[in-house]
Structure 1
Amino acid sequence: MTRQPDWLVGGDRHQLAVERIHAAAAELIARGGMGGLNIDQVAAQAGCARATVYRYVGGKSALREAVLTGATARIAQTIQRSVAPLDGAERVTQAILGALTAVRADPVAVAFLNASTPQEIDGFLAGNPRLADAAVELTGIATADPAAGQWIVRVVLSLLFWPATDPATERALVERFVVPNFAA
Structure 2
Amino acid sequence: MVTEQRVDWLAGGVRRSVAADRIVGVASELFQARGFDHVGMDEVASAVGCSRATLYRHFPGKAALFDAVMAKSAIAVAERVAVAVRRYEGSRRIAEAILASVAAVRSDPVLANGFAGTRAGGSGGAFTSSPELGRVATLLTGIAPDDEAAQWIVRMVLSLLTWPLADVASERRMVERFIR
TM value normalised by structure 2: 0.77
- Following superposition, the deviation at residue 53 of structure 1 comes to 2.5
**How far apart are 1:15 and its partner, in Å?**
3.4
Counterpart-to-counterpart distance in 2, 1:159 and 1:42: 31
How far, CA to CA, are the matches of 2:83 and 2:21 in structure 1? 24
> Which runs of structure 2 are paired with 1:90-109 in the superposition (5 Å)?
90-109=92-111
Q: Say if 1:161 and 1:63 are closer, same or farther in 2 by CA, change over 3 A.
A: closer
Which residue in 2 is equivalent to 1:175? 176
Offset of residue 80 of structure 1: 1.5
Aligned letter for 1:116?
R
Letter in 1 for 2:157: V
- Which string of whole-angstrom CA distances, capped at 9 and with x for unpartnered residues, describes residues 87-130 of structure 1? 223311220111101211223323332222789564421x3344
**Aligned partner of 2:64: which letter?**
A
CA distance in 2, matches of 1:51, 1:119: 21
CA distance 1:107–1:165, change in 2 (3 Å): same
Aligned to 1:82: 84
Distance (whole Å) between structure 1 residues aligned to residue 157 and residue 18 of structure 2: 34
Pick the structure with more helix per residue.
Answer: 1
**Aligned residues of 1:24 and 1:42 also touching (Cα < 8 A):** yes
Other-structure match for 2:40: 38
Contact 1:33/1:115 (<8 A) preserved:
no
Which range is displaced more, 20-29 or 129-138? Answer: 129-138
Distance in 1, matches of 2:57 and 2:113, equals: 26
The 8 Å contact of residues 93 and 174 in structure 1, kept in 2 or not, is answered as yes
Change (3 A) 1:83 1:18: same
Return the offset for 1:79.
1.6
Normalization by structure 1: what TM-score? Answer: 0.75
Please tell me whether residue 140 in structure 1 is matched to residue 142 in structure 2. Answer: yes
Letter in 1 for 2:175: V
Distance 2:165 2:120 in 1: 22
The C-alpha deviation readout for 1:117-154, integer Å capped at 9, x for no partner, is 789564421x334423322221112465x322222122
Q: Choose the corresponding residue for 1:124, options 124, 127, 149.
A: 127
Distance 1:27 1:166, change over 3 A: same
Q: Secondary structure at the match of 1:124?
A: coil
| Structure 1 range deviating more: 8-17 or 31-40 | 8-17
Give ranges in structure 1 of 5+ residues lacking alignment.
1-7
Question: Counterparts of 2:74 and 2:91 in 1: how far apart (Å)?
Answer: 24
Structure 2, unaligned runs of 5 or more: 1-8
Q: Are the equivalent residues in 2 in contact too, given 1:33–1:111 (CA < 8 A)?
A: yes
Residue 127 of structure 2 aligns to a residue whose secondary structure is helix
Number of residue equivalences:
170
